[in-house]
Chain A
């Protein structure tokens, strides 16, 4: 199929040889040497044109062969559909799997979190915890007391952040008259300051907000866009819906939040590494977490009493050394 192409030099030599042979023959037939040479040349015709045709033809022939090869290839593929399908599927799966792995890697490892010092945010996890200490599981959930102890422990971690999803799925939120659903997390007062996330408008929570159970909500940029069309007014009241929620702080069941002040924040959060936490080995782990729509500070005081059976998870963001910030995800045991 892939014969070596004949060089133009080779062809030029053939032409020379041809003309000489012809000239010799003409000489034998009685022409003078000079005349024979001239005649031979004349009979050959335009040497340049012949060379050009040769060149063009070999080019064209190359393309022609290529097309023929393609055609044969396609035909033989069509001739054995089983093989063809297998090959196509193999390639498709291979490409697909690689793309998927890359997407995850890209999200987890290459793209950093939209926080001040993303590579120092870690996610705390307990290894070999005492039996029955977590609310969901012992390794990933922490009691509020543990969280409280962690953040009081100065030194290892510059900020410790905790969070609890308001529900496993979505929570009812009402702005104005119309109730709707949104994803929401309850977070510690250090959430924004700890992550050093800049808010577009308004301000984040403070530790005082946490203590006071201040009725403040911060909404995500996406939610702001979706729900409020990025209206610039910073302090729209958002009403928490009718669903019941547990306050992770005081462990009492909360119904009907009051009006929430809205601030805004950007982004999603993830984390990892391994560190010591309260004398126990804490594993650092990669995890990508899409930011919630609504983040509320601690809780409202208007709570109903009720025992906290804790389905919440918490996040603890911490810093392994001064200056940086790591996020840890801890859950509180009841």
Chain B
């Protein structure tokens, strides 16, 4: 698996989410996750239709019940990477509140990758869960 990506930081919930306005004092609480994870989350959030970067960031945050707080800037590294792999494609469009924005949507490859990565992720978490839950 590819190494840890720069950029994406997750803030575990609890302390930080005394508001969305998490602060930088929580640096030590930052977790860097494997690169594939954010890719997977992005792909998933695009299943329901094209979305711009800000929308994706919001949707990941909301759907994780605010567990993941994506630093929005670092989202774009992943978007760029996915676009290069041709898993997603982007087009400038107009948002519902009439703002120009770059809309990302899944490609066919992206859809297939999403299925594959999801099952991979499931296997992984299951395996880790088995180990952690094992009565020793």
Residues of chain A touching chain B, judged by Cβ–Cβ distance below 8 Å, are: 11, 13-15, 17-18, 20-22, 24-25, 39, 42-47, 49-50, 53-54, 57-58, 61
Q: Which residues of B contact A (CB under 8 A)?
A: 6-7, 20-21, 52-55, 57-58, 71-74, 76-77, 80-81, 84, 95, 97, 99-102
With a cutoff of 8 Å between Cβ atoms, the chain B residues found around residue A18 in the complex are: 52-54, 72, 101
CA distance A44 to B71 in the complex (A): 6
How near does chain A come to B107, taking the closest CB pair, in angstroms?
Answer: 13
25 A-B pairs in the complex with CB atoms less than 8 angstroms apart: A13-B100, A14-B53, A17-B52, A17-B54, A17-B99, A17-B101, A18-B52, A18-B53, A18-B54, A21-B52, A21-B54, A21-B55, A21-B97, A22-B57, A24-B97, A25-B54, A45-B72, A45-B74, A46-B73, A53-B6, A53-B7, A53-B76, A54-B77, A57-B80, A57-B81
Q: Give Cα distance in the complex from A17 to B54, angstroms.
A: 9
CA of A17 to CA of B76, assembled, Å:
13
Tell me which residues across on chain B come within 8 A of A57, comparing CB atoms: 77, 80-81
- Cβ–Cβ contact A43 & B71, under 8 A: yes
Chain B residue with Cβ nearest A14 = B102
Min C-beta distance of B102 to chain A, whole Å: 5
Tell me which of B57, B80, B99 has the highest count of chain A C-beta atoms within 10 A of its own C-beta: B80
User: Which B residues are in CB contact (< 8 Å) with A11?
Assistant: 76
Q: How far is the CB of B25 from chain A (nearest CB, A)?
A: 14
Q: What are the 10 A-B residue pairs with the smallest beta carbon separation, nearest first?
A: A45-B73, A50-B73, A21-B54, A44-B72, A45-B71, A18-B54, A14-B102, A17-B101, A44-B73, A18-B53
Q: How far is the CA of A57 from the CA of B6 in the complex (A)?
A: 11
> Hey, which chain A residues are within 8 Å of B81, CB to CB?
57
Q: Which residues of A contact B71 (CB under 8 A)?
A: 43-45
A108 to chain B, nearest CB (A): 56
Listed residue (A15, A17, A58) with the most chain B CB atoms within 10 angstroms of its CB: A17
